Structures are given as C-alpha cells and as structure tokens.
Amino acid sequence: MTGQLIEFGADGDGQKTCGYLAAPPAAAGPGLILIQEWWGLVDHILDVADRFAAEGFVVLAPDLYHGKKAKSPDEAAKLLMALNIAEAAAEIRQASEFLQNFPSVTRKKVGAVGFCMGGQLALYAALEYPKDISAAVDFYGAHSKVGIRPEELRVPILLHFGKRDKSIPEAVARALIAQLQARQPAVEGYFYEAGHGFFNDTRPNAYVAADAELAWNRTLAFLRTHLA
C-alpha cells in the first residue's frame, strides 16, 4: 500500500467514516471516490486505489462496511443486503466533500468509480448528487436495493458490462444504457466477452486480463476528459 487509512465526515452522532486515501506522485490531481465491491474494503480495492493514484488521481475509498470484510460469497451477500443505502450514499457524498476541500485536489471536480455493488452506488450517487459527483464509472453495477432513475442524470457516465454476466443480462444492461443516453449525450457503454467481475485480478475464475486492461484504459481516458 502507498496510501493511508483516514477518517472523514461525521453522521448525526458524530461518528466518522474510515477510508483509504491514496495520493499521486505529484501530490495533486483530480479527486476520485473508489467504491468497493460486495467483499468490502479489501486489499484488491486498496491496490486499485493505488493504481489510480499512480495515474494522477487523489483517491478516497470509503469503508462502507465499517471494518467488516467478506471471505465467501455467502458472507458478501449478507453484507451487501444489510447495507443501509441511505447511509452509504451519505458517506459517498461526505467523501466527495472531503476531496473537494482537500488541498491536493485540483479544480475541485470529483469522480466516482465502483465495481459490482460499488458500480451501482457510483451511478446512484451521480444521479442523486450531480453537484458533488462530476462523472461516474460503473463496472457491472448490481444491487437489488439501489434504484436507478435515469431521468435524474446530469453528468457524464461510463459503464462496463460483460456479455456473459449471469447476474446482469445483456439486454437489461443495454436498456439501462439506452435510457441514460436518452437523458445525457455524454454516456458511454461498453460490453466485453466476459462474465461478472472480469476486472478483479484476485478472482482467477472471473478475471479476464485483456478486457480488464481495455476497460481500465477507457476509464482513465473518460476520467481525464471529464475531471480536467
């Protein structure tokens, strides 16, 4: 790890949220919120945060499970369904406020990138808080409790989906992209010959190196365009 664990924000009881903050080599750059998969704030997410930081972003990955981490799909599913969506959204907004006020963040624009559960939350946050999230990237976002209202879209969105994703049928993903594009021209959607979780290089059964690299490069280009 090249970053550090910090506390930020506060709820009505004064409780702060923990997160992983990673800064770029130049110590300054656009702000980026990185939102976890259903596993929690695990080493893979910290590594992705470091990768984004190495590309010039000031990254904050909030711990939406507050210290809990899943070691099996069953544990992950329980944590996902127990997540309080309103609280998670508030913590994502607080992460944006932290980055907007952080001295190293240039131009005070903040993006959001999320994977699986986090992808759905990144899209949701962009719809709900367009003044706090200037652009969002959704990697195969899925969460049954997170409703998406395309009519609320105000900011650029990038979406990545796998054609072989059993949890998100291609037709459903394409319909979502079409609805978003009808509201906002700056919506990009891409499909890959892969299944769910193809970006996660710690999951050999899901990871597809070529597709992960292509999605990564598209994500960097998108963020650099809309957070510049």
Alpha carbon of residue 42 to chain centroid: 14
Amino acid 158: pLDDT: 98
CA contacts within 13 A on the Cβ side of 224: 10
Amino acid 150: pLDDT: 87
Amino acid 62: pLDDT: 97
Amino acid 12: pLDDT: 61
Task: Give 63-120 pLDDT, tens digit per residue.
Answer: 999 999 999 999 999 999 999 998 999 999 999 999 999 999 988 889 999 999 999 9
CA dist 136 to 4, 67, 88, 208, Å?
Answer: 23, 25, 16, 22
Q: 146 pLDDT band (50/70/90 cuts)?
A: confident
Task: Look over the chain and give the mean of its residue pLDDT values, rounded to a whole number.
Answer: 93
What proportion of the chain, given as a percentage, has pLDDT over 90?
Answer: 83
Amino acid 106: pLDDT: 87
Provide the sign of the torsion angle of the four alpha carbons 65, 20, 54, 105, taken in this order: positive
Homologous superfamily of the 4-226 domain (CATH) = Alpha/Beta hydrolase fold, catalytic domain (3.40.50.1820)
CA contacts within 13 A on the Cβ side of 48: 25
User: How far is Cα 68 from Cα 79, in angstroms, rounded to an integer?
Assistant: 8
Task: Give 24-49 pLDDT, tens digit per residue.
Answer: 988 789 999 999 999 999 999 999 99
User: How far is Cα 224 from Cα 216, in angstroms, rounded to an integer?
Assistant: 12
Supply the pTM of this predicted model: 0.95
1 has a pLDDT exceeding 70:
no
Is the model more confident about 14 or about 168?
168
Q: 55 pLDDT band (50/70/90 cuts)?
A: very high
Task: Give 166-210 pLDDT, tens digit per residue.
Answer: 999 999 999 999 999 999 889 999 999 999 999 999 999 999 999
> Which single residue is written with the structure tokens 């990185």?
34
Provide the sign of the torsion angle of the four alpha carbons 202, 141, 85, 47, taken in this order: positive
Amino acid 184: pLDDT: 87
11 has a pLDDT exceeding 80:
no
Query: Is the distance from CB of 17 to CB of 35 less than 8 angstroms?
Result: no
* Strand order through the sheet with 29-35: 4-8, 17-22, 58-62, 29-35, 105-115, 135-139, 157-162, 187-192
Is the model more confident about 43 or about 150?
43
